[in-house]
């Protein structure tokens, strides 16, 4: 039997970065291999938001009024894109907490790999997952009559804002998993996620709500992303009275950056706390 000989950790910074990237990619490939092993699970995960689109677009949509007029499904789709991004937090949470409870995280930490790779690999895999998820939702939107009206560039900018939201929430998911450390607690995470999703302008316009609730909804970070996306896609329903609603695009950048500024350093800290 040949026993592999590997020399110690690389001395210079460039080599260390190259290892961190290579190790992160190995962890990402692990997740992609899951897709190949469990395609049904992936398909179900992708189709769940499609089902909600059909439910709201056709079942409830007839009773929904858009202030200023416009098609309800045109109004709904940008909100559903954002919801898909928010639901991703559950994927992140389940993956990170499962690795912790199974001891896989400890095995990684006892190995000579780059410590950052465990998390960067996870983040890359989740973002790839979300890009595919967003593409499926857009295809679904095109099928039910949703269109973008301000050109491909604006549409891509909207997609960028949506993915920025997902990226910020990813770190919130990592933090929650590092604190709770139990994959079964995903139920509790869902209970946290649903108010964020429904107390927003995804399904109904804040203008149709009682004043105080409308204001709360307009300040919801999710609403900012949805309003900005509607504006960029040229879909009906953006606008509102509050400062947050009038500066939706600014808020759609500011909220995720703020969340990143909180949750990214916090998740690094919590990860280091595993050795305490």
The site for another protein (CB under 8 A) is made up of 1-4, 6, 8-9, 19, 22-23, 26-27, 29-30, 33-34, 37-38, 101-104, 106-113, 117, 274-276
Give min distance, CB of 111 to another protein, in A.
6
Give min distance, CB of 43 to another protein, in A.
15
CB of 157 or CB of 185, closer to another protein: 185
Burial class for 110, CB neighbours closer than 10 Å (0-12, 13-18, 19+): exposed
Give min distance, CB of 110 to another protein, in A.
4
The answer to whether 67 touches 207, Cβ cutoff 8 Å, is: yes
In degrees and rounded to multiples of 5, residue 210 shows phi and psi of: -55, 150
CB of 31 or CB of 71, closer to another protein: 31
CB of 88 or CB of 121, closer to another protein: 121
The stretches of the chain forming alpha helices (DSSP H) are 13-37, 39-54, 72-102, 104-109, 117-143, 151-180, 186-198, 211-219, 221-233, 243-246, 248-273
The three-class DSSP label of residue 235 is coil
DSSP symbol at 243: H
CB of 117 or CB of 162, closer to another protein: 117
């Amino acid at each position: 039997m040949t026993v592999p000989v590997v020399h110690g950790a690389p001395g210079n910074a460039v080599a260390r970065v190259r290892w961190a990237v290579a190790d992160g990619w190995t962890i990402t490939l692990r997740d992609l291999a899951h897709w190949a092993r469990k395609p049904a699970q992936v398909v179900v995960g992708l189709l769940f938001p499609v089902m909600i689109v059909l439910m709201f677009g056709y079942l409830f949509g007839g009773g929904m009024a858009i202030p200023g007029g416009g098609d309800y499904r045109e109004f709904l789709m940008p909100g559903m894109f954002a919801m898909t991004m928010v639901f991703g937090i559950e994927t992140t949470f389940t993956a990170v907490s499962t690795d912790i409870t199974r001891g896989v995280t400890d095995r990684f930490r006892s190995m000579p790999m780059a410590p950052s790779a465990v998390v960067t690999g996870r983040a890359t895999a989740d973002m790839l997952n979300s890009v595919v998820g967003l593409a499926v939702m857009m295809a679904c939107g095109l099928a039910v009559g949703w269109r973008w009206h301000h050109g491909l560039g604006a549409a891509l900018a909207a997609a960028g804002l949506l993915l920025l939201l997902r990226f910020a929430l990813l770190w919130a998911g990592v933090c929650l998993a590092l604190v709770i450390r139990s994959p079964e607690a995903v139920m509790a995470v869902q209970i946290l996620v649903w108010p964020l999703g429904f107390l927003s302008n995804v399904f109904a316009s804040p203008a149709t709500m009682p004043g105080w609730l409308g204001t709360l909804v307009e300040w919801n970070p999710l609403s900012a992303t949805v309003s900005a996306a509607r504006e960029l896609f040229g879909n009906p329903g953006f606008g509102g009275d509050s400062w947050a609603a009038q500066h939706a695009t600014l808020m759609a950048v500011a909220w995720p950056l703020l969340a990143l500024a909180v949750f990214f350093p916090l998740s690094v800290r919590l990860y280091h706390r595993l050795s305490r």
